[in-house]
Each structure stands twice: as C-alpha cells, then as structure tokens.
C-alpha cells in the first residue's frame, strides 16, 4: 500500500470516529466506552473542553479531517500547513485529558490518526 493510500485511510478513519463522537454529542447516553477510572470517555466528551466557541470539538474534527482529505488530494502546499494545524488539535486534546485526569480512547485515537496523517504526508514522495 503506498503512502497516499495510507494517508487516505487514516483521514477516512478520523472522519468515521469524529462522526461517531458527533453523534454521541447529540445523543447522550449512546457512548460505548469502558469506565475504568482513568479511561472515561464520557467524562472527556461531556467536559467543558469538548466545546469550543459553542461548537462541539467532534464537529470541528470532522471538518479538519475532511479538509485535510481534500487538500492532500488537490493542494499539496496548503495540505502541509493544514496538517500541521492538526498538531494544535493534538496538543489541545492532550491538555484537556491531562486537566481532567481522564482519557478518552476515541479522542486518543484521533490524536494518533492526526499524528500518523502528518507523518504519512510529510514522508510521501511528491
């Protein structure tokens, strides 16, 4: 599998997880996630950190992944900048989980997908 295909798969997976978290935001009680004390998705996705300027972070992440997917296919120079902006999302996510003392496996998965997307993009041959 070439790096471009890997990048598309990573971004599509991010869209899927973000869509699930968006659904959960609007359908409380539908989250499937263990609560082990430290791992507690419910605590993270319903926290004050889960909404930015009145917009659920899950919706913002769908937008980020969709734009990244489009840019990587059509505007390589803009895609690099956009993907690096995703690093800011990782930092925010890690900060929020640290402040809460809880980990959301879905949020952490999105962080990994963003980091892997950035790596796949910057290591692919033009």
| Tens place of pLDDT per residue across the chain (126 aa) | 787 899 999 999 999 999 999 999 998 788 899 889 899 999 999 999 999 999 999 999 999 999 999 988 887 788 888 988 999 999 999 999 999 999 999 999 999 999 999 998 888 765
Alpha-helix residue ranges (DSSP H) falling in the chain: 3-26, 41-45, 57-74, 76-100, 105-123
CB atoms within 10 A of CB 117: 26
Cut 0.85: pTM above it:
yes
- Contact (Cβ atoms closer than 8 angstroms) between residue 67 and residue 1: no
Number of domains the chain contains: 1
Task: Report the CATH number that the domain containing residue 29 is assigned in CATH.
Answer: 1.20.1440.130
> What is the domain extent for residue 16?
3-123
pLDDT at 76: 78
């Amino acid at each position: 599998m070439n790096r471009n295909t890997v990048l598309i798969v990573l971004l599509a997976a991010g869209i899927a997880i973000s869509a699930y978290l968006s659904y959960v935001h609007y359908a409380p009680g539908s989250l499937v996630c263990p609560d082990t004390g430290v791992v507690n998705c419910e605590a993270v996705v319903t926290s004050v950190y889960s909404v930015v300027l009145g917009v659920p972070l899950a919706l913002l992440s769908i937008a980020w992944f969709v734009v990244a997917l489009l840019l990587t296919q059509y505007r390589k120079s803009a895609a690099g900048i956009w993907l690096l902006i995703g690093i800011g999302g990782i930092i925010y996510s890690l900060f929020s989980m640290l402040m809460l003392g809880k980990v959301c496996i879905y949020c952490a998965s999105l962080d990994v997908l963003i980091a892997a997307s950035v790596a796949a993009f910057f290591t692919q041959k033009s």
